[in-house]
Amino acid sequence: MKKKVLIVLLSMIFIISGCTQTETPQNHGDEQGDQPTEIIADANILIAYFTWADNTVVVNPESVDVDASSSASVLTPGNAGLMARWIQEEVGGDLFSIQTVNQYSSDYDECLDQASREKASRDRPALIDTVENFEEYDVIYLGFPNWWYTCPMAIFSFVESYDFNNKTVIPFVTHGTGGLSSTIRDLTNALPSVRVLDPIGIEREDVDSSEDKVKSWALNSLK
Amino acid sequence: MKKKWCIDIFMSLFLILAMLYMHLGEYIHEWVGVLLFLLFFIHHVLNKYWFKTVLSKKQSMKLRIRSFINCLLCLLLILTLISGVGMSYYLFPFMNIPTLTSLFREIHLACGYWIFVLSAIHLGLHLDIFVRRVKNKVNDKRVKGTLIVLTGCICLYGMYLFIKNRICLYMFLIHKFVYFDYRQTLLSIFSEYTLIFISIAIVTYFVVRKIEIKKEKSQ
């Protein structure tokens, strides 16, 4: 009898913990994010993004079926590239496309395989270009797709190439059914003591119709 | 007998932990998977009689359903094992087949969720022993009533969590990537999957019971 009571009690605890803990408020990154937000006026803004389209070669663009969700993002400017342009239209700043020396396959599955291998071996793919006068920027919008539940490894190459001290990072992510997964968690871990603001995540298929959403988010992030 | 129960409880625990791939990280997930398969193996050794019942022709409907689910589970387990080892980076890197990762990932995902649901159904088909024991021990009507209401609540909440966690979408690969909320704590997601597991088992028990009662009446 005692056992049964115990089981019942345990399940009650489970329910309660399930109810309460799922609703814990968001907390991204460090404590600084919890401070009252100040307006970042006259900030120098960099919009850096990694997009599949800029890191692959499509031999015959006309052969790409734009209606297929996995194919549309291989055509320039790519999903993250498109979002980066909207952000620029809204808040200004300079665009920078993060590109790797070794390109990725334009085939969805093959690209995913590549991404998974890089993730497992914690690769830091070599990047082609560097941002000039990086130290002059205050705010960096950082965009990328969710690859295999985390950021593409090139994002970590990028983040580790510069000194992010005293900078504010605002991530924007395109994703499939996995949502943001562990992209933001891994990014904040790679940027300890850097202020990382609330990200925006847009589902791949909804990117085309999300201009207003992205723009208003970009503006609000600076307030 | 106690050993069997212990193995069963640990097996359920590890199965639920295996579902929390993202929250535990890949390294722990691989270890959980290996331990889970060891437990499955011991479970089969301890329940050897099952193989004999599969082969026997005289079976009741309930036994037939049980055998069918058990065979399916065995098949899915083998598929999950092969796809898991084929993708492994930490424990079996020498067995990793990089060109098949995408295929293995989808097999592993779908089979994993089917195993989760079918294991819960499997538990539900054996729940009558447990329920009989509880019935024999609980005589107080009030306690009985509370237990029934509680069971109902757990079932309803479990079904809600089943939908909320999109289990069905992964089983049929409608969604090919599992949605993970990195803000949700391990304890919270663990309790959600535990409740889903328990409620599937309870619902299975009641469905089977209902069918049995109907049959008894018609005879």
Could you tell me which residues come within 8 angstroms of residue A199 by beta carbon, excluding any fewer than 6 positions away?
Answer: A28, A170, A171, A172, A173, A180, A183, A184
Q: Is residue A134 part of a domain?
A: yes
Before A77, cis peptide (omega within 30)? yes
Q: Is residue A11 part of a domain?
A: no
pLDDT of amino acid B99: 82
Strands (E), chain A: 45-49, 94-97, 139-145, 168-175, 195-196, 200-203
Rounded Cα distance between B88 and B33, Å, is: 11
Question: For residues B156 and B48, which has the higher predicted lDDT (pLDDT)?
Answer: B156
Question: For residues B158 and A61, which has the higher predicted lDDT (pLDDT)?
Answer: B158
Four-residue CA torsion sign, B106, B109, B110, B112:
positive
User: Count of CB atoms within 10 A of residue A138's CB?
Assistant: 13
Which CATH number do you get for residue A105?
3.40.50.360
Q: What's the complex ipTM?
A: 0.73
A120 CA: distance to closest CA in chain B (Å): 7
Lowest mean pLDDT among A55-59, B12-16, B93-97, B174-178: A55-59
Between positions 45 and 84 of B, the ones with CB within 8 A of A are: none
Q: pLDDT tens digit string along A115-160?
A: 988 988 889 999 999 999 999 999 999 999 999 889 999 999 999 9
Q: Is residue A145 part of a domain?
A: yes
Q: Is residue A34 part of a domain?
A: no
Least CB–CB distance from B194: residue in A14, A22, A184: A14
Q: Is residue A7 part of a domain?
A: no
Task: Look at residue A12 and tell me whether its pLDDT is greater than 60.
Answer: no
Domain that holds residue A165: 49-221
Q: Is residue A8 part of a domain?
A: no
pLDDT of amino acid A72: 53
Task: Look at residue A25 and tell me whether its pLDDT is greater than 50.
Answer: no
Of A43, A40, A32, A33, nearest to A137 (Cα)? A43
Q: Is residue A200 part of a domain?
A: yes
Q: pLDDT tens digit string along A194-208?
A: 999 999 999 988 999
Task: Look at residue A60 and tell me whether its pLDDT is greater than 80.
Answer: no
CB contact (8 A) between residue B179 and residue A179: yes
Q: Is residue A100 part of a domain?
A: yes
CB B28, CB B15: distance < 8 Å: no
Interface contacts (A, B; CB < 8 Å): 90
The residue of B139, B140, B188 whose CB has the most chain A CBs within 10 angstroms, and thus the best one to mutate to test that interface, is: B188
What is the pLDDT of chain B when averaged over all its residues? 90
Confidence label for A30 from pLDDT (cuts 50, 70 and 90): very low
Distance (Å) of CA A142 to CA A218, B2, B64, B145: 11, 56, 57, 57
Rounded Cα distance between A86 and A214, Å, is: 7
Rounded Cα distance between A220 and A65, Å, is: 35
Four-residue CA torsion sign, A16, A17, A22, A23:
positive
Instruction: Count the domains in chain A.
Output: 1
* Interhelix angle A108-120/A153-161, nearest 10 degrees: 50
User: Count of CB atoms within 10 A of residue B82's CB?
Assistant: 15
User: Count of CB atoms within 10 A of residue A106's CB?
Assistant: 20
Rounded Cα distance between A181 and A147, Å, is: 9
DSSP state of B109: H
Domain limits, chain B: 2-218
Cα dihedral A208/A209/A215/A220 (nearest 10) = -120
